């Protein structure tokens, strides 16, 4: 009797494991296609971009990004926070309003909701990122200079192919950025 109970219990456990493994391997193709950018990093003072129009940073820049676009629901959301050591904290907090992704690069646009300079609240901010490889590889991800303009309405993210308006990207000294379009 004890042996039969052990066999039934073991059979139930094996069946549960097999069902879990089978469902974990299924493609979750029933979810909506989404573009996502997430991560963060640091660019040391004196770093320069790799574009045809070079820009060098006079401060140590740190950033964090979460941007998601769901084209089926026609919604884009997220937050970008940018700060620097010399200022002592956040310089911009941005609500994401647009996101364009192609291969390993993305353009993120949003509205400044908090700034070290209160006159910039409501301005449009755009940022470009490049996902060069998986974390831990020798290839480093990149982030563009910030493009902050007076209020122009909702950003459109239509300049993805511009190589960050020709400025290119800073190479991250620390951190990682993931660009996904699934």
Taking the domains of the chain in order of start, what are their residue ranges? 35-181
178 band by pLDDT with thresholds 50, 70 and 90 = very high
Predicted model pTM: 0.79
pLDDT at 138: 80
Choose between 56 and 18: higher pLDDT: 56
Choose between 22 and 117: higher pLDDT: 117
Q: Across residues 32-40, what is the average pLDDT?
A: 90
Statement: residue 89 has pLDDT above 90:
no
pLDDT at 29: 54
Q: Are 117 and 131 in contact (CB under 8 A)?
A: no
């Amino acid at each position: 009797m004890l042996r039969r109970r052990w066999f039934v219990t073991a059979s139930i456990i094996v069946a549960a494991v097999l069902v879990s493994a089978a469902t974990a391997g299924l493609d979750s193709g029933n979810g909506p296609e989404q573009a996502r950018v997430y991560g963060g990093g640091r660019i040391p003072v004196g770093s320069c971009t790799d574009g045809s129009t070079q820009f060098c940073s006079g401060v140590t820049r740190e950033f964090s990004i979460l941007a998601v676009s769901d084209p089926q629901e026609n919604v884009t959301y997220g937050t970008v926070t940018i700060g620097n050591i010399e200022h002592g904290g956040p310089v911009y907090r941005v609500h994401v309003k647009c996101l364009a992704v192609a291969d390993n690069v993305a353009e993120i646009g949003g509205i400044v909701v908090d700034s070290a300079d209160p006159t910039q609240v409501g301005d449009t901010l755009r940022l470009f990122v490049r996902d060069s490889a998986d974390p831990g590889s020798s290839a480093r991800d990149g982030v563009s200079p910030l493009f902050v303009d007076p209020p122009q309405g909702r950003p459109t993210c239509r300049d993805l192919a511009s190589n960050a308006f020709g400025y290119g990207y800073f190479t991250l000294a620390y951190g990682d950025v993931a660009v996904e379009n699934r």
